[in-house]
Structures are given as C-alpha cells and as structure tokens.
Amino acid sequence: MRPNAWPRSGYNEARLPTVQEALQSAQQALQPHSETAPLDAQVLLAHVMHVPRTWVLIHPEAPLSTAQQAALQAAVSQLRAGTPLPYVLGVWAFYGRDFEISPAVLIPRPETELLVETALAWLDAHPRAERLAEAGTGSGCIAVSLAAERPHLHIVAGDISAAALIIARRNAQRHAVRVHFLQADLLAPLAPRTCDLICANLPYIPTATLQQLTVYQKEPTLALDGGPDGLTVIRRLLAQAETRLTREGCLLLEIEATQGESAPRAARKVFPKAQIDVLPDLAGHPRVLRVLV
C-alpha cells in the first residue's frame, strides 16, 4: 500500500460510506501502526462526527458526510505518521474535564490527577489557605482543575513557554475560571512568603531514559527532560520554593517512579525541618513528593 493510501473496504465509492464501513477502513489503515486500532478508529470517528463514541457503536448504518469522510482520512493519516492520538484530537480529558492540547504542551496523564487530589485535600484541611502557585503549567490542566474545584483560590500559574501559555489561557476560558498566567522561569517573579501552596509537574525524566521512550520527540522535550538524574529542574524549584512558601505552607511535586528516595533526599537538603513524604499512585509507584513546612 502506498503511504497514506486509504484502504478500500468494499463499499460503493459512488455513495457515502456508513459508520460501519468507515470504521472498517480506518481500523484496517491503523492496524500496522497501533495495538488499539479498533478503539482508535472509534475515537477518531466520534471526534470528526462530533458524537459520543457510544453513538458510533450503536449507529453502524448512519452515513458520513463528505466533510466527515475527509476529516477521518486526514486524522487517520496523522495517526499513521506517528502523531499521538491526543494531539490528533486536539483535546484530552483530565480530572473530569476536557482540555485543549497541542504539541506545545505535555499530554495530561491520569497519574497527575493524584497531585490535584492531594492539593484539594490539603486545601480542605487548611481553609485559610488561598494563594496557590503552579510552576511549569503547560496546558494549565492542574491550575484550571484546582480553580474549578475551589473558585475562591488566587492562583498564579507560570511557564517558560509562550506557546504553552496560549493553550493554558484558552483552557481557563474554556472552563470559565480565574487563573493569572505569566511567562516565567519557575517561581522567579513571585515575592517571598506569598504562596500557601505550590504545585508542579516539572520535567523529571532522566535524559538517557527519555531518549529511549516512545514519547521522545513526540511531546515537548522541554516538558520532559529532567537532566542527568531527572532532578535538575526540581532542585531549582525546591530552592525557589523555600523562600516563597508561607509558614505552614505545602509543596507538591510530581516525580518519576524511580525517584522515591532521591527526590525526598533533595528536598531535605532545602527543607531540613519540614515533614517530607512520597505518595504512591494507583499502581503503587512513588508519584507525588509532599513537603509540609
């Protein structure tokens, strides 16, 4: 088959294909490139038809319009070329909400929801806390989720990437929340003792490890590469957070599964008197570093 050719499924090309026929064609095209070709085909078709995936499954005889057929072919071609499915869709779910994404930002992961849950639990236990900062906001999914769940918060979210901030601002507008975004190197612009809670999902993958992963050169390296041991950016944030946190403040950082000992050790050098622990994700892997000052 020549590159990007659309496989024939046996339907009469003089008429528009049905949902079932379009799914068969898409699945056939994706089979050599994806281990989840049937699901990917369903998700793509639902996306271009602007319907739930369940609708696609229960309406196999529904016809596609010419525009929908063309959009599906274009989406399948992107996926076959190696573009991650979330980027093809342009939107991805996180903490019960849909977020706009692009190759300028990291794709939100379910593991990061633990950071949001931990932040909400801490806020509930500290009702007077209202000033929150997020470093490396990317798509804004963490800051926007927290703003949606706790509208009274004053949230500042920064990122060094101007392209990422465009997406983050759109997501705040999408969910009608108030977040102050700024282009910044971590917490650099923030005044001392102005943050009750600091959250961050920073680059934490060791460089050598990253280069062996499938996400390498598909998602932004700036959001993934944590240096030789994965803690280069995290150490910088720890140093900045030490002067920005208020008394009895909290710092929450997502970490890699292999950093369950190294990340707390780095934190103790900066916060020798703090209560420091690591929370596991649903798979039991170290996931969130918590520093209680």
| Residue range 48-101, pLDDT digits in tens | 999 999 999 999 999 999 999 999 999 999 999 999 999 999 999 999 999 999
> 34-60: string of b/e by CB count within 10 Å (b at 16+)?
beebeebbbbbbbbbbeeeeeebeeee
- Residue 104: predicted pLDDT: 96
The segments of the chain whose pLDDT lies below 70 read 1-14
DSSP for 8-76 reads --S--TTSPPBHHHHHHHHHHHHTTT-TTHHHHHHHHHHHHHTS-HHHHHH-TTPBPPHHHHHHHHHHH
Domains belonging to the chain, first-starting first, are 19-82 (1.10.8.10), 94-292 (3.40.50.150)
Element (H, E) at 247: strand 245-254
Helix (H, G, I), strand (E, B) or coil at 104: coil
Task: Locate 81 and state its tokens.
Answer: 């070329």
Q: Cβ-count burial of 123 within 10 angstroms (0-12 exposed, 13-18 middle, 19+ buried)? A: buried
CA 27: distance to chain centroid?
26
What's the N-to-C CA distance of the chain in angstroms?
A: 61
